[in-house]
A and B are shown apart, each in its own frame.
Chain A
Amino acid sequence: MANEVKLPIYLDYSATTPVDERVAGKMMRYMKMGDVFGNPASRSHSFGWQSEKAVDEARQQVAALVNADPREIVWTSGATESDNLAIKGAAHFYGKRGKHVVTVKTEHKAVLDTCRQLEKEGFEVTYLEPQDNGLLDLDAVSQALRDDTTVLSVMHVNNEIGVIQDLTALGEIAREKGVIFHVDAAQSAGKVPIDLQRLPVDLMSFSAHKIYGPKGIGALYVRRKPRVRVEAQMHGGGHERGMRSGTLATHQIVGMGEAFDIASKEIANENERILSLRNRLWEGLNQLEEVYCNGDLEQRVAGNLNASFNFVEGESLIMSLKNIAVSSGSACTSASLEPSYVLRALGRNDELAHSSIRFSIGRYTTAAEVDYTVDLVKESVIRLRELSPLWEMYQDGVDLEKVEWATH
């Protein structure tokens, strides 16, 4: 079995995905002399017109995946910029109405740090605590929205634990209170069906590189009916109806369009295949004792599994999985020695937060790769537990919560 598998194995699709060959092939035709390379803003010649046409097509492809109007799509450099434009842009535009923003502790740093910036500017931000399964308590959201709240920002699918928030319910709460609802959909577009004709969402951030498109390109959906306004964060030539200036990167945009188009056509089949691989992975790993899945297992994107292997430290486990690309919830490697803030927000204790690994499965993952991973993880966890004084104490029936540790 092992010789069918080509090492190393990539199981970090939530971090980024390889560009689909069909996407890369198309992008190559939008760069060179003899191909389409003009500035889409050049109105006086065919080089510009050809590029503009390509950009328009891509805009339609992106809009089609989420059932939006192409005129509601604003190109950006990625989901981080989209989050910045949405949150700062709406908070600034509606600043006269109020200066209160509501978000969640488990959001991506692109949202949290943007909110911190607003706090420096005099805005007030409420950071909601999710429930232990990672999902929001709708009553808590409802109570957090005040008369002076202008923006509610909640991610669709969490990047670490993959849980899916209920956008319909959240959006209805926001609508009722007249609050702009922003959703970071970097981890969900192309993986979870999104219908913006039906969803009460005002602003939505997208990224290309999470769904087999190129890095460095993203988009922000800005609702037209009822019309939502954002103040530009990038000033210049007035591109994208004044919301985001800067020459459009035609080849990147074409790549994002193609990636979204492929996702539109393949989402159903792909999800089914990926979910069966995820189940295979979880069933395999769950044969070990003291393994916990972080985040709700049902309300969860197909490709994500975040598991904690109790009594084994995450970084040492990753070291042992050297032929497998995964990511650790423990940020020990970044010298901060802090366990994942997402897992802490779920109320996971430090040991479990320190021992978590995120496996993310995608388009090119095979069953043989999953099986190889299961075998290697099991072997490594067993070996590291033999080395672990905590495992020994657990086996001896010691309650680790009651031990007085010599903290350093």
Chain B
Amino acid sequence: MSYGKKVLDHYENPRNVGSLDKDAPNVGTGMVGAPACGDVMKLQIKVNDDGVIEDARFKTYGCGSAIASSSLLTEWVRGKTLDEASKIKNIEIVEELSLPPVKIHCSVLAEDAIKAAIKDYNDKQSGAG
């Protein structure tokens, strides 16, 4: 299978790789997928007092398209409000990266990851407040 240019670029130069402190109250962590399915995505966001995502980090175990989807997503969510970030649809990732049909599940996983990270952050906030 041949990969699109943008997938290759993100795969070779992944943006925002890393981890944030998962115990910090202003960090939300989303971990989705399973090793048995061949992909696991961890996406973390750091949210400031205005509800804006000021940092986003990822680590992904999976194929090049899964790595690219999560890398792209960290770029997109930075500077967005939680509300804006939660509206990102997997189809936008598919279009941006020109993912073939067999790789659409990678974009779905990325959408699930940001939603899970936002939920984790909100749970922490409501628990703390």
Residues of A within 8 A of B (CB): 311-313, 315-316, 319-320, 330, 332-333, 335, 337, 339, 350-351, 354, 386-392, 400, 405-408
Contact = CB atoms under 8 A, between A and B. Distances in A.
Contact of B35 (A332, A337, A350, A386): A350
Interface in B60-117: 60-64, 66-67, 102, 105, 108-109, 112, 116
Nearest to B12: A320
A387 B38 CA distance: 14
Given A389-B40, A408-B33, A408-B34, A315 B63 contact: yes
B36 interface: yes
B61 A388 contact: yes
B41 interface: yes
Interface centre among B3, B59, B67, B112 (most CB of A within 10 A): B59
Contact of A390 (B11, B61, B109): B61
Contact of A319 (B11, B40, B109, B112): B11
Contacts of B3: 319
B36 A332 contact: no
Indicate the size class of the contact surface on chain B: 20 to 34
Contacts of A332: 38, 63
Contacts of A391: 61
Given A319-B3, A389-B40, A354 B35 contact: yes
A387 B69 CA distance: 13
Contacts, number: 87
Contact of B19 (A316, A392, A400, A406): A392
Contacts of B37: 337, 350, 407-408
Contacts of B42: 389, 392
A313 B62 contact: yes
B63 A405 contact: no
A397 to B, nearest CB: 15
Contacts of B116: 406
5 contacts: A313-B62, A316-B62, A337-B38, A354-B38, A408-B34
A311 B35 CA distance: 9
Contacts of B109: 408
Given A319-B11, A408-B34, A408-B112, A389 B61 contact: yes
Which one of A312, A313, A339, A407 has the greatest number of beta carbons of chain B within 10 Å? A313
Nearest to B38: A354
Contact of B67 (A316, A335, A407): A316
Contact of A406 (B31, B62, B102): B31
Interface of B: 1, 3, 11, 14, 17, 19, 31-42, 59-64, 66-67, 102, 105, 108-109, 112, 116
Given A319-B11, A333-B1, A387-B17, A405 B61 contact: no
B59 A408 contact: no
B59 A392 contact: yes
A359 B40 CA distance: 26
A388 B60 contact: yes
A400 B41 CA distance: 14
Contacts of A350: 35-38
Nearest to B112: A408
Contacts of A320: 11
B36 A405 contact: yes
A11 B35 CA distance: 27
A163 B31 CA distance: 38
Given A319-B11, A405-B35, A389 B63 contact: no
A336 to B, nearest CB: 9
Contacts of B17: 386-387
Contacts of B11: 316, 319-320
A333 B38 CA distance: 11
A136 B39 CA distance: 32
B61 A311 contact: yes
Given A337-B38, A392-B19, A313 B32 contact: no
Contacts of B1: 333
A388 B14 CA distance: 12
Contacts of B112: 406, 408
The 9 closest A-B pairs by CB, nearest first: A405-B34, A350-B36, A335-B102, A389-B42, A389-B59, A315-B63, A351-B35, A388-B61, A319-B64
